[in-house]
Amino acid sequence: MLSYVLRYSPIYLILTIGMAFLGGLVSAANILLMRYVIDTANDSGNLELVALFVLAITAMNILIGLAETTLSSIVLTKQQYKIQQKIQIELFSVVNRIQFKYYDNAEFYNQFALALNQAENRALGVAQTVTSFVGNITRISALLSIIISLSPSVVLFILMGAAISLFIQKGNVKLKQQIVLASQPIQRRGMYLKSTVYNRECAQELRMHPGVQALLTEKYSAFTNAAMGLVDRFRNRTILYSTGTATTSALVNAVSILYLATRLSRGVISVGDFSALLASCTQLYGLANSFFGIGVSFYEHSVYIQQFRDFLALGQQEYSWGNLEQIPNQAEIIFDDVSFQYDGNDKKALQHIHLRIAPGEKLAIVGVNGAGKSTLVKLLAGIYSPTEGSILVGGTPISRYREDAYRNSVNMVLQHYALFAFTIGENVLMRHVISEEDRKTVEEALRAVDLWDKVSALPNGIDTEMTREFSSGIILSGGEQQKLALARAYAQKSQILILDEPSSSLDAFAETNILSQLYQAGRDKTIILVTHKLMDVKWADRIIVLNGGRIIEVGTHKQLLRKNQEYAAMIHLGTLKSDDNTNHRLRKGVD
């Protein structure tokens, strides 16, 4: 964690350590100056000299305080933001490399939340711990010098109390770590429940279904009860450690006062010495506790950092991409005995898939829910990697291509797509709109999906943000959002296009029109369509039927009807749904 700070802002560490070192010297100087003032006033009664020393102390503290405030509030705050920015950007990169299968694991989300929530603050925390270490060493050295020069025996009381406190603090930090780990899944659930009220879609459902409000209240109460249960679970040890620390501190303070008072009454030390020693003892005991606590803090950091390393390691275990930079034009796709099993599931989602897809072929995939359709196309898209077998594109396994090259050649419109709180243009291109050519590409894509008239009428056009949460942007209807997702496919111009239920929110006319545009633009492309709609599959060169993760039928619409097996049964039962507007044909001559 310290390496992040040194990499992204070495000046931050230099300044904080320098301030800590200076603070240690100033603390000791204040004690010595106060001792001199007290003895001077007590012995000679020279008030002018006393006033001069008080003014000197005050001026020194004001100047140093002003310098520290300026550095902390301006320079160091900006550097903290810089460190946090760089770490989060690096984390974003790691998250993007993590294999998608981990998102199916609840424990991953706990680790994910812990890493994202604490990474930047933990790095700064480690830097602050190092700073505290330097500051404490400086202060302890200065205070020990004062105490040893005046009354060395007092050090024994301090060390004995600090040793007891160390033992208590070590147990206390372990307890805190247990509480953090135990509370993480509970707090994550609480954050989700609170976000449902904030989320626009959830807010609509809450208003439509009053019963959900009661359900949400019940679940939030369960969350708070679970959080309070954690407090009860760790209550006794928390009280024990807190009481032990407070008791030890009180005893050390009392013993130090009695001992120094005895020496003062016997004339061994002066009033100024008494004041300096008492202040030094009080500070030294606190510093000794803090110093030992720094060691415990490093232990606490190390426990978290190990979890953070485990999280980063997931990015190294993800789908391994190669270095081939270009997929051949008109590439054949081969599923060679491909099987896939989701983590934590006993049953395979896909079993021994053998499939060849010719360059430029238009393939439709149908089947009942849970048949494995979306899983198959996600494997081809590289979102998941096969458990067994391999997928070849252009005669080469997917894993041998560079990821960016493969993503540029294979585009997928997801069934559950995501629209971001970016501009319309950025949502279409999925990157910055840089040039006039980019703007023309966005316009062409929006025209293809029949959204251009609406977008061009907006004051900011394609620069309109897709949210009203942060600006006076726009909120599209469900069908319009799906059109925008399809506009992405049109704009990408990839040679392999995968459409996973791309028109579920569209009416029959809009669906026919938009898909016709895509098919026209993709005459030379390989298009793979997952659908439940009959009119979508009748245009296909070939249809495959999945059931139980296996391919059970392959053929054209007419061939599969003549077979009178699973496909014909799906049409008969309405599983493959026909639209009323069936006379709109996607390709001339299709029955």
pLDDT of 65 > 70? The answer is yes
pLDDT band at 207 (very low <50, low <70, confident <90, very high): low
CB-CB contact of 331 with 393 (8 Å): yes
pLDDT at 210: 65
pLDDT band at 553 (very low <50, low <70, confident <90, very high): very high
Of 21-25, 157-161, 430-434, least confident by mean pLDDT is: 157-161
Across the range 428-440, mean pLDDT stands at 92
Element (H, E) at 262: helix 235-265
CB-CB contact of 39 with 22 (8 Å): no
Cα–Cα dist 363/348, whole Å: 23
Across the range 218-233, mean pLDDT stands at 86
CB-CB contact of 281 with 119 (8 Å): no
Angle at 242 between CA 293 and CA 119, to 5 degrees: 45
The crossing angle, in degrees rounded to 10, of helices 478-492 and 436-448 is 130
Across the range 411-422, mean pLDDT stands at 84
Domain spans in the chain, listed from the N-terminal domain onward: 2-314
**pLDDT: is 351 or 110 the higher one?**
351
Cα–Cα dist 531/536, whole Å: 7
Across the range 250-278, mean pLDDT stands at 83
CB-CB contact of 74 with 90 (8 Å): no
**pLDDT: is 259 or 209 the higher one?**
259
CB-CB contact of 130 with 13 (8 Å): yes
**pLDDT: is 189 or 385 the higher one?**
385
CATH number attached to the domain at 2-314: 1.20.1560.10
Across the range 294-321, mean pLDDT stands at 71
CB-CB contact of 452 with 464 (8 Å): no
Cross-strand partners of 10: none
pLDDT of 437 > 60? The answer is yes
pLDDT tens, 91-143? 777 777 777 777 776 667 666 766 666 777 778 888 888 888 888 888 888 88
161 burial type by CB count under 10 A (0-12 exposed, 13-18 middle, 19+ buried): buried
391 in helix, strand or coil? strand
Q: In what order do the strands lie in the sheet with 333-340?
A: 350-357, 333-340, 388-393, 396-397
What lies within 8 Å, CB to CB, of 483 at 6+ separation is 449, 450, 451, 506, 510, 514
**pLDDT: is 359 or 165 the higher one?**
359
Across the range 48-71, mean pLDDT stands at 78
φ and ψ at residue 227, rounded to 5 degrees: -65, -40
pLDDT at 334: 96
* Other Cβ atoms within 10 Å of 443 Cβ, number: 18
CB-CB contact of 387 with 349 (8 Å): no
User: What is the overall mean pLDDT for the chain?
Assistant: 81
Beta strand segments in 270-384, E? 333-340, 350-357, 362-367
pLDDT at 582: 38
**pLDDT: is 150 or 45 the higher one?**
150
| Whole-number percent of the chain with pLDDT over 90 | 19
Continuous H helices in 46-105: 47-70, 77-97
Q: Could you tell me how many residues make up the chain?
A: 591
pTM of the full predicted structure? 0.66
pLDDT tens, 363-411? 999 988 889 999 999 999 988 889 999 999 999 999 899 888 888 899 8
pLDDT at 501: 82
pLDDT of 583 > 50? The answer is no
